[in-house]
Chains A and B, each alone.
Chain A
């Protein structure tokens, strides 16, 4: 049984048995160790997510944001790998938006991060699922961005998309409940988006543009991903599916454009609160 503890609002703890069980069966005494919210911070935090600064294993240590994920390393291999694939896609998505806008230099970090900060953490997972390595394809892609070569970029981008699609197919092949697996992965990526967003916002303003863009990429990618299972989710529980979509719409509204607004649309606790709403519905879509 998997449990998460969500701290909502100023000191209100809401325990949610999710996504493995429905809300009705939650047992507070079975909760995992909690992360305390400071009294002066309206923090909402997903307890399972250790966030920045957590000691990461050497093999997964990343740069800013620790996207390889110290906490994420504890996930089951399939979920950990799919999370990595989706985070790579999120980076590429927002990087692609910047390239479309002719902002090659701004795009470059989003093409370097997948290889530098994520790939090492999923290398062993790829072996587990007999998926061909694609680090070379990531390197090639980032070089085309560095070279500001649109034709080469398009070719290299298509090549990596092909590799990611093959990896996705392999990791999903063994999942019995594909819809739930996708939603579970989406939640993990949203948690990383929350981390990035928390890094981006300072005193109600977007202080860190790259982290804002990272979060945007993750949210937009999750929106696309969830869209692929929405018919199946609706068939299972139309109300829950609708609530999931509403949560995503709310999250997307935080990122009106690839260039951040002067004032943050939400603060990081509100952002987390919206993710919690998403999470709350997963038990109903299992």
Chain B
């Protein structure tokens, strides 16, 4: 009898629980403000690489070079010609007209917060700001310059020689390397300032209007924007095909991986009020257009990002709330770079490395993130995630490209030389695995 009552009680409790769960499923979950405040908290420093530490002199030189038309072939074009400070270091048009009189292939990207970037250009083909900075200078349709000619011109300028000497006291010469470092150092100072959203993140509840907060709830909830627009910069640094009608293949040809066709780097959402139009091709004019694209206009094709919500039904009110929220990520007045101290950060540290030969990729993370192996051992990387990955090793000692690694696939990499290897995903560059391979004896 007692046992029967107990069983009945358990059944009733289960029914009540099921009812509660069912009821909760009908309503959006309440916003977990504490969690999201942690997720979107701004950093307190700007990362700078060990081989190009930030100095005042270097940044000043970089700022001058950024405006210097001598870097171009026609002597009339500078970096700032397209990356205008008044337009969030972009140019306000869908595609800038190139030297051939035709629109360039892609939208001029805004330059905010690139210090945190993992790859550069819309298709991520440059692995550092230093590498990136040289490319437009010699691109025939952009600046159409000649680096050697430009360097000679700069070196013939006494003031420029003096500025290079001040910026690079250990190598006081006008070289391509120093030119790249100075331009990169300047760009790393372009940190977007705090906005009303940041005040909310810091705990100021009233900083956001109810409609804006409702938009944020949608952003991290029903609309699923946060799947790609993550962290304080609102980008995962990954490459996604978001179903724009453009025929541009984007990341695919860079990786040699057709599964990454039409994929472009997730743009940051900071200061976007000041940098319309939007997307890699500048095809969307307003935030409203952007929201409508995700809700109604995605072009279906096999390469679509797995991180795109399958279906989003958004009412007019919800769309307006999302737009209201997006506005809070921009300054109310034209933004000026924030002053944030620089701190040297080296990627791929392996302080917590463990001996392992099998690595997981679940939830876009190599796990463990740093491993120790012996020469001759095989590393197995299992895609137990829901997304396509592309395992790569790009180094002097070893080069490896897995091609498209579909969910369920396992990639095997052998290491026959001791050393340090950085394994990344070409589609999600924030996935980084540090592999330390030692000789069997040393290990």
Contacts and interface: CB of A to CB of B under 8 A. Distances in A.
Interface of A: 132-133, 136-137, 139-140, 143-144, 146-147, 149, 151-153, 155-156, 159
B93 interface: yes
B55 to A, nearest CB: 29
Nearest to B326: A136
Contact of A140 (B84, B92, B96, B288): B92
B411 interface: no
B286 A152 contact: no
Contact of B92 (A136, A137, A152): A152
Contact of A143 (B86, B277, B327): B86
A140 B93 CA distance: 11
Given A140-B92, A144-B92, A155-B93, A149 B84 contact: yes
A137 B286 contact: yes
B273 A152 contact: no
B286 A136 contact: yes
Contacts of A137: 286
Given A143-B334, A146-B86, A136 B273 contact: yes
Contacts of A144: 87, 92
Nearest to A152: B92
B110 to A, nearest CB: 12
Contacts of A149: 84, 86-87, 91-93
13 contacts: A132-B323, A133-B324, A136-B287, A136-B327, A139-B274, A140-B273, A143-B92, A143-B274, A149-B84, A149-B86, A151-B96, A152-B91, A155-B92
Contacts of A143: 86-87, 92, 274, 334
Contacts of A155: 92-94, 277, 285
Interface residues of B, number: 22
Contacts of B91: 149, 151-152
Given A136-B273, A151-B92, 18 more contacts: A132-B320, A132-B323, A136-B276, A139-B273, A139-B274, A139-B334, A143-B87, A144-B87, A147-B86, A149-B84, A149-B87, A151-B96, A151-B97, A152-B92, A152-B93, A155-B93, A156-B92, A159-B286
A159 B288 CA distance: 12
Nearest to B316: A130
Contacts, number: 57
A143 B93 CA distance: 12
Nearest to B282: A155
A162 to B, nearest CB: 8
Contacts of B96: 151
A159 B276 contact: yes
Interface string B309-332: 000000000001001100100000
Closest 7 CB pairs of A and B: A152-B92, A147-B86, A151-B93, A147-B84, A146-B86, A136-B273, A144-B92
A147 B92 contact: yes
Nearest to A162: B285
Q: Which residue of B86, B277, B327 has the most chain A CB atoms within 10 A of its CB atom?
A: B86
A147 B87 contact: yes
Contacts of B277: 155
Contacts of B87: 143-144, 147, 149, 152
Contacts of A152: 87, 91-93
A133 B84 CA distance: 26
A156 B324 CA distance: 19
A93 B56 CA distance: 45
A140 B323 CA distance: 15
Nearest to A142: B334
Contacts of B324: 133
B12 to A, nearest CB: 48
A202 to B, nearest CB: 33
Interface string B56-95: 0000000000000000000000000000101100011110
Nearest to B275: A140
Q: Which residue of B273, B276, B285 has the most chain A CB atoms within 10 A of its CB atom?
A: B276
A143 B334 CA distance: 8
Contacts of B92: 140, 143-144, 147, 149, 151-153, 155-156
Nearest to A148: B86
Contacts of B97: 151
B278 to A, nearest CB: 11
Interface string B136-155: 00000000000000000000
